[in-house]
Chain A
Amino acid sequence: MKREIVFGEALYERLRAHLLKSAPDEEAAVVLAGQQQLTECMRLLVREFHPVPASGFARRSGLFLAVDPVWYGPLLKRCREEGWSFLLAHSHPFSRGAHFSGTDDAGEQELMPRLFQRAPDRAHGSIVFGSEFVDARAWLPTDTEGLTCQRVLVRGRRSRDVLTRFGSTSQARESRFDRQVRALGDNGQRQLRAVHVGLVGLGGIGSHVYQQLKYLGIRQVTLVDCDRIEESNLNRLTYATPNDLGALKVDVASRRGREILPDSDDQALCLDVRSEEALRALSACDIIVLATDNLVSRLTVNRLLTQYLVPIIDAGLDIDAHDGHITAIGGRITRLVPDGPCLSCLGIAGPARVAAEVARTYISGEEVAAPSVVSLNGVIASIAVNELLDHVTGYSGELPELPRSYVYDGRRGFVRAVQESATPCGVCTLVYAAADVEPLPRSESTPTR
């Protein structure tokens, strides 16, 4: 089973700054993490860290640290009582990459059995920081030695893998991506090939998004939509033809996806996005594109942002029209990162708006088909995919301040970058990186649109 460690970027940078502050001398910290158990992978999501104070060392020299159990014992007790995993982090600031030393190995062999004795039934681990990269190991209760993690992910405005790697990662360039590689580089193309995207909603915007993901060369997409193709969808679903009427959207889309990118490894889930199975599948993704206009669904998926540290790109479009006359076209694309505000903090899918939607749709029975135009959907979808592309490859470079959202005015024909203010919703902090330690909200049995 693969093992991975995931950090939110702000927390990672704070931990790194602490561990490297005394370079070339070493520093240490205790990290508490939530555990996420997937079918083929176990992830530890970093929730908090505690720098070891001077009084927390039983012994200390430039290259040797002995953390006193009198200091770390209470943190281990919290792990035991609250369900967290315990990781001992330290630095080897004298090298760019990080390698566990013989001292680390010996210390770990002594420490881990005691951690499992005190806080059983979960993983524990260790992390060592070099000046640029890190190495990490995770232990499961049945292990006799820790296994090296396959990825150590830092998820923020951009996501990156900071695990120390050796040897060449060069790969033959596929000619079909030649023009793209000229823009994004071989590394960018490799990152696109490796990223796992979740896509919620295969309607007007989602269909464009999915098609572009495939043309970009993204092999692994988890599609969630439980609707079938109706005749009224054929004006805007870019994967559908009249022959597909009545078929499931996820089936038709993923078939088209394989035609575009034959080595696709997509997962087509005909599920209510609020079901536990759908949320578990989405929690495994590296990033999610939310392309549903249902606020309840968006608020549910929003929980994965902080609880499972999965960045989200939220895309939506509203056309106000009466009797064939458009009065407003408003779109919004928002990039949400684990250490930043969520949809609820931003007021985009706050409880009041969600309650209003529920009342309108399910109590009064009002569910009017919204106007939708393929070309307008395409604008929103393209901006959303560009955001994803930048998240994965960093193609837009080091801008001083990247906007959180883009707002589209379809009547005037412009896109504006905005940086909205946010009010903490209170839930984000509570569930931050809690992963499987905290249950996901229970769903009601209402389908996505």
Chain B
Amino acid sequence: MPTAHAKPIFIDGNKYEVTEATLTGAQIRTLGQVPAGYRLFQDLPGHEDRLIEDSTIVEIKPGEKFYSLPLGQVGTLLIANLDQELAILREEFAGAWRDEENGVQHIHVPDIALPTSVWNRAQVELLIQVPPLYPQQPITGFETDADLRLVSGAQPAGTGFQPFHGRQHMHFCWNPASLQSGWRSLVEYVRFCARRFQDQPL
């Protein structure tokens, strides 16, 4: 209820009545229900607007205006759906396709080039099982044909054998340190694997 000493102020266009001579940024945030993570500013016509931190003390004059702005967030951290990711993947890996078995999504990426100086063949298909909680749960490995070997005939390091998709496959446990921070997209992961086959022969 406004009092005789109440002063109108505006936060994000909404009017509030306050009686205090000063308010902290935190108090203004609470009053205006400014979402967490948004930055709060004091609107100063004709001048550069003032950033109001939680601890900033603001002398309140009638009609004072404040507004909040979110971070401008962009990126490929979360892609709306697997089909959209697959469309992006196909820009680089034209033959990539998807199938589903018992509710589990598999991404096939054929024709990944291998250097024959290192591997016993020139191309391989990656078979990636999309984790059930993807993208929150990261992709950490993929399958190839079970007979993929180094040119020496040795089994590559970091691999094992397991039945997958109805037959025996070689499982690669590639969990790139460079992609550890934050989320890795399917596209980013496949790109990493293709590069590692080329750049980091085992």
Contacts and interface: CB of A to CB of B under 8 A. Distances in A.
Contact of A63 (B48, B68, B185): B185
B78 A114 contact: no
Contacts of B183: 63-64
Given A97-B91, A99-B88, A118 B67 contact: yes
Contacts of A95: 88, 91-92, 187
Contacts of B79: 101-103
Interface string A53-73: 000001101111111111011
Given A94-B191, A117-B67, A26 B75 contact: yes
Classify chain B: how many residues form its interface, as a range. Answer: 20 to 34
The 7 closest A-B pairs by CB, nearest first: A107-B73, A67-B72, A69-B69, A64-B75, A102-B78, A66-B71, A95-B91
Given A70-B51, A117-B12, A117-B13, A90 B74 contact: yes
Contacts of A90: 74-75
A355 interface: no
A127 to B, nearest CB: 10
Interface of B: 12-13, 38-39, 41, 48-49, 51, 67-80, 84, 87-88, 91-92, 181-183, 185, 187-188, 191
Contacts of B48: 74, 77
A101 B76 contact: yes
A63 B76 contact: yes
Interface string A89-124: 010101111010111111100110010011000000
A94 B77 contact: no
Q: Is the interface of A mostly helix, strand, loop or mixed?
A: mixed
A94 B186 CA distance: 12
Interface of A: 24, 26, 28, 58-59, 61-70, 72-74, 76-77, 88, 90, 92, 94-97, 99, 101-107, 110-111, 114, 117-118, 126, 128, 130
B68 A114 contact: yes
A372 to B, nearest CB: 55
B74 A73 contact: no
A65 B49 contact: no
A73 to B, nearest CB: 6
